[in-house]
Each structure stands twice: as C-alpha cells, then as structure tokens.
A = this chain, B = another copy of it.
C-alpha cells in the first residue's frame, strides 16, 4: 500500500521519474499522448491541402484541375496503402534490420482497455500520425512532375511509394532499423520524409523529361509562370501551419512536463526557421536579381521548414533562424542549378525538399551533441541510394507498361482537357502564353504576356 502511494506521488510530482521504465504511465498521460497524435496528425493531414494549393497555384491554368485531383487522390491512396502494407513494413518486427513485415495493420488496445497504459497511446492515433507523414512524402512528388505526367501513371507510382518505398526506408531510421541503431538523428523527417519525396521526384523528373517549351535549344530557360499566386500563398500558409504539427507532434508524447516543454521548443523553432528561410531568400533574391520574387519567398519559408525538421528540439531560437536562413539561401541557388541541368521541377520541390532535406539532416550535429556528421551522412546517402534505385525501377516499369507521359498534343492542350475532361476555370478567357502552337516562344515579361490578346487553343 505504502509503496503504491509512493509510486503515485512520484508519478505526480516527479514527472521525469514517472516515465522511467519501472513506473506505470498514468491514464491522463495516455490520453494526452493520444490526443497529441490526433491533433498534430490532423495538422499534418492539412499539409496535403497545402501541397495541393501550392501546386495548383504554381502550374499553368490548363493543368490546374489535374494537379488538384492528383493531390487529393494521392492522400487517399496513402491511407489505403499504409493500412495494407506500409505501417507494418515500417514498424512491425524491424529489429535493427532493413524491413518490417507484411500484413494489414489492425489496432490492438487490449492492454490499455484493461488498465495497463504502458503502451503509451491509442494504437490508431499512432497509425494515423504515421500515415499522414507517408502522405506528405508522396505530396512532394506531385508538384515536381506536374504538367506532363499521366494521371493514372502518377497514381500507380503513389501506390508503390506509399506502400513500399517510403515505409521500407522509414523502417531504418524510425522503425527501429539499422540506421536508428547507428544513432541516425532525423527528428521529424528532413531525410525520411522530405528528401525521400525529393529523390523520388528527381528520378521522376529525369525519366519523364522536361515540359515542352521549358528549355529552348539555344540553352535559354523559359519561365512558365504559375497561374494563381494567392493559391500558392495559401498553400504555403497551410504548410507552415501544418508543420507545427509535423514537428511538434514528433515529440511523440504530451504526457509529462518534459514532453510539453520539448513540444513548445520544437514549435517555436519550427516557426523561427520558416521566418529565417523566408527573409533570407527574399534578401538574397533582391540582391541577385534587384527585385523580389513572391514564389521564391514562399519557397524560402518552406526551405526553412524543411531545414529545421531533422533537429527542431535542440537549437535556440536564434540558431533556428540561421538554420532556416541557410535553407532559404540554398533554395535560391538550387532553383537555377536544376534548370542548368535541364531538370524541370515545376514548383521547386527538389530545391526545397531534397536540397534542404539534406542540409537539415547534416545540420543536426551543429546543435545536437548526440548526433554525428558521419552517421548523418550515411543516413542521407543510404536513403538516397535506396530511393533513387527503387523509384527508377518503378518509373521505368510504369513507363513501359501503362505509360507515364502524356502525348505532345495532350501536353499542349493541357492535362485538364485531355486527362480529366474538365477545366479548372472554364468561365475565364485566357491569354495566349505561347505562339500558335502553344509549344514554344513563351513570353517572359508579365507586361508582354498581359498585352497579348490571343486566346489559348
């Protein structure tokens, strides 16, 4: 009796002890851990809408409806595949290895329902939280390969990515696999989510090839400006908001004061990195091009967010600003770099998620003494190699079966007309954004574009 009272008192008054291995987890801690997974998971789900709006704003209006459908349906696919294969491949019986096990996931809360709260949280709340991360990795891909990929080819790739590629590499660092045993530190997924999406997008963009008209034979890069900047801004705001849940929820607990403090630091740092990335990219663009660029500012904020994601708990606010600012500068340099390589990334996803995902992962040891640069590099490289190889296999397999690229004529008409038979904005008269063929000679000055009076197609 006395011992139990002491345990009880310890649990209430000495929180760090309360979660020590021998002490029981209280029911309230169980409830709060669960509620945190649910609320933070809902915020991460909301990022799917953020990606959708960002991409819908950055493609040309003839492809807008298609990118909308892709973004919402990939989230539907992620849910089903993560249930059928993903969760168990990522978390069931990894045991220091390279892959979990096959099998549908199902909730098991038997212990908690009989009063043993040592599991820490409701099973489905954890499943939900992990599933929305899987969806986020997939959302990275859609923007990069937009405007020339076939709908069903893309969705087939989503099945492979969310059901197999993402969870298998995820098992290494988060499922108790070999990378986690090495001490690889990736708090909320700069590598495991963002660079994975980035590598998959990179292989897709290379195998698909660039959009018609993007790169002239004389080496010129033709901007194909996004059709709806407020939507892109909304998407960025949504992503910024959702990222509080993405990183904050990755504390994986809210049952004691230490977790609540960590969650607070993580959320504050996440915000500061976004601030740093946005302001740094705006200043950088102003210096380099003598004029700010709204999409660069938006991508700068996202770059800051990706950069802090691998280690949001250890920096001070000031360090978080700097980590994000480096991301913001990297994105400004990376966008023309990929264009130089003639890798056509419609929304800048490679610059944001791949480049800054790598930067963020490598930056962890700067503020976290438990992390090492060598291990971080091994994690980045191994994940990259795995995703590049498996994604390439998937893209090629799809290319030579159901096909992944629309025909030139379909691309000229726009995927909305040919893939889904529905325009995004049917009521509005469009300006010509090309010559009579629509395939080349894109006007680059906004004023020139507006003064053109031809109607597309």
Residues of A within 8 A of B (CB): 1, 4-5, 8-9, 11-16, 18, 24, 26-28, 30-32, 34-39, 41-43, 45-46, 48-49, 52-53, 56-57, 60-62, 64-66, 68-69, 71-73, 75-77, 79-80, 83, 104-107, 109, 112-113, 115, 117, 122-125, 127-128, 131, 151-152, 225-234, 236-238, 240-241, 244-245, 248, 254-261, 263-265, 267-268, 271-272, 274-276, 278-279, 282, 286, 291-295, 297-298, 301, 316-318, 321, 413, 416-417, 419-431, 433, 446-447, 449-451, 453, 455-457
A259: B residues at CB distance < 8 A: 31
B279–A80 CB distance below 8 A: yes
A152: B residues at CB distance < 8 A: 286
Cα distance, A83 to B273, chains bound together (Å): 12
* A230 nearest in chain B by CB position: B56
B298–A72 CB distance below 8 A: yes
Main secondary structure, interface of A, reads: helix
Cα distance, A272 to B9, chains bound together (Å): 41
- In the assembled complex, the CB of A7 is this many whole angstroms from the nearest CB of chain B, namely 10
A450–B455 CB distance below 8 A: yes
Which residue of the partner chain, among B260, B293, B431, contacts A429 with CB atoms under 8 Å? Answer: B431
A229: B residues at CB distance < 8 A: 64-65, 68, 422-425
B424–A230 CB distance below 8 A: yes
Known A-B contacts A65-B229, A271-B79; the reply to A34 vs B426 at CB < 8 A is no
A68–B261 CB distance below 8 A: no
Question: 7 nearest interchain CB pairs?
Answer: A49-B237, A124-B264, A122-B264, A68-B233, A79-B275, A125-B264, A76-B275
A35–B32 CB distance below 8 A: yes
A77–B279 CB distance below 8 A: yes
A301–B76 CB distance below 8 A: yes
- In the assembled complex, the CB of A300 is this many whole angstroms from the nearest CB of chain B, namely 9
A124–B268 CB distance below 8 A: yes
* A276 nearest in chain B by CB position: B80
Which residue of the partner chain, among B24, B30, B255, contacts A31 with CB atoms under 8 Å? Answer: B255
Cα distance, A83 to B319, chains bound together (Å): 12
- In the assembled complex, the CB of A157 is this many whole angstroms from the nearest CB of chain B, namely 15
Q: How many copies does the complex hold?
A: 3
- In the assembled complex, the CB of A113 is this many whole angstroms from the nearest CB of chain B, namely 6
Which residue of the partner chain, among B34, B123, B227, B455, contacts A263 with CB atoms under 8 Å? Answer: B34
A257: B residues at CB distance < 8 A: 27, 30-31, 34, 112-113, 117, 122
- In the assembled complex, the CB of A269 is this many whole angstroms from the nearest CB of chain B, namely 8
A112–B261 CB distance below 8 A: yes
B424–A228 CB distance below 8 A: yes
- In the assembled complex, the CB of A283 is this many whole angstroms from the nearest CB of chain B, namely 10
A429–B447 CB distance below 8 A: no
A52: B residues at CB distance < 8 A: 230, 233-234, 237
B450–A241 CB distance below 8 A: no
Cα distance, A151 to B451, chains bound together (Å): 25
Which residue of the partner chain, among B27, B228, B265, B426, contacts A230 with CB atoms under 8 Å? Answer: B228
B431–A225 CB distance below 8 A: no
A264–B230 CB distance below 8 A: no
A422–B225 CB distance below 8 A: yes
* A285 nearest in chain B by CB position: B420
Cα distance, A56 to B228, chains bound together (Å): 11
Can you list 22 residue pairs at the A/B interface with Cβ under 8 Å?
A27-B256, A27-B257, A30-B260, A38-B267, A42-B244, A42-B245, A45-B241, A49-B238, A52-B234, A53-B234, A65-B229, A76-B275, A77-B275, A112-B257, A112-B261, A113-B261, A122-B257, A125-B267, A226-B426, A291-B420, A428-B430, A451-B457
A27–B42 CB distance below 8 A: no
- In the assembled complex, the CB of A292 is this many whole angstroms from the nearest CB of chain B, namely 5
Cα distance, A316 to B39, chains bound together (Å): 21
B72–A115 CB distance below 8 A: no
* A256 nearest in chain B by CB position: B27
B433–A264 CB distance below 8 A: no
Known A-B contacts A16-B115, A420-B291, A429-B430; the reply to A73 vs B261 at CB < 8 A is no
B422–A450 CB distance below 8 A: no
A65: B residues at CB distance < 8 A: 229-230, 294
